[in-house]
Structure 1
């Protein structure tokens, strides 16, 4: 019998590309996740991953199991939430960054509304620092945002690379000032990009600012500048410019869920729904 605990570990390793990050996602130790995968391989009598010192990849049998595992976990989660959902009411104020709002957030909110029809939702979209500040001042109840670099507050949901992106037709000239398109204010990606550039010998110039992901990405698509983006936000018409071409490496971005100090039951339920969606069989995509 395939245990949900083992399937959840299997999907996490497949999604994260390794045991360490899967353990972080599941809030388990790496050895526990490794043991769960071994148990699943014993039950299925199939090797599910090819392991090397540098990478973990699915075998053919693992690829076949992955789709079924996702569907089983979706059914298990839906049944569990329906049975466990308390009757809640009130209003929950949610803040999200655009990278998440433009992905699977509508599906998450739809699921929450179906489980808790008596709860009203107010959603605000903004940059991470602004949203977290609103949370600290009691203006928001739950925030789903990028974690400021060097901090550990919030519940880590996933980590992904941040990359330099430019139009397919953009001509990178490193002996002249590098044109940048950045968020207008206090953005995690803006601060990380400027810190990386300041540690390099490159000259740069901010030629375009916007308060939104759509805005900075539009500037890059138009060929006006390069911009730092989550890897998942690189769309058709953009290419990734790597360190091989002379640009400094960027740190990974961490997306986390924040709750007010003493959340009520409705706010806690929304945070749990968002966490289940993001860490479960289908992580939000942009």
Structure 2
């Protein structure tokens, strides 16, 4: 009886560690600086959304969010378009060649972000795509391919070959088998890849700053947000309001994919 109580206590403690900082962020976005420091955890005396209006106008967050949505959405689509067929091929590959290709994808985890920065800069300049969102759309899937391919390959390996053989006997082509047999079963794995890649793409800052630059017409939300410190000085209420504004798409994507993520976790635990 003691063990479930301890587990429940730890679970509630962990939940509090996650909720309290978010609570502090939200209520601080509705306060003035003095109120933030004197009453950090209390509710605001007046519910004023002026900080949000100031943050959106000062850092031009609306076009920045639109740019991030475009870059992230196109990069996600390209990632899935490349990773799904690659994972399908690897999941059905046998012999040393298949293991070698999979190991090659795994090596992508060993490449530090800063190590690829200068070659990426040169490539962007050589292709004429420097200071454009287009180059980032092609770059981000390349950084996500190792993770996406490895995760999807493991999911597709759990699909019984009998299903594929039955579809082949009915005259289904390889593409048809992928679309109508593997993809419906791998929806939890695809949702996992979408969520992880979305978080990575949406929060990407270094390459967005260097490749796209600070141009308000093209910069992403992560590049626009730090400008609030320059345009508003030390107004932490405005800064936190801008941070909350940038988190809204993250919560929306998580709300859509959380059920499939849970299925993926439960499926992995059962198969393990």
Q: Which structure has the highest strand share of the two?
A: 1
Normalised by the length of structure 2, the TM-score is 0.32
More helix by share: 2
TM-score normalised by length of structure 1 = 0.31
Greater relative contact order (Cα < 8 A, sep 6+) = 2
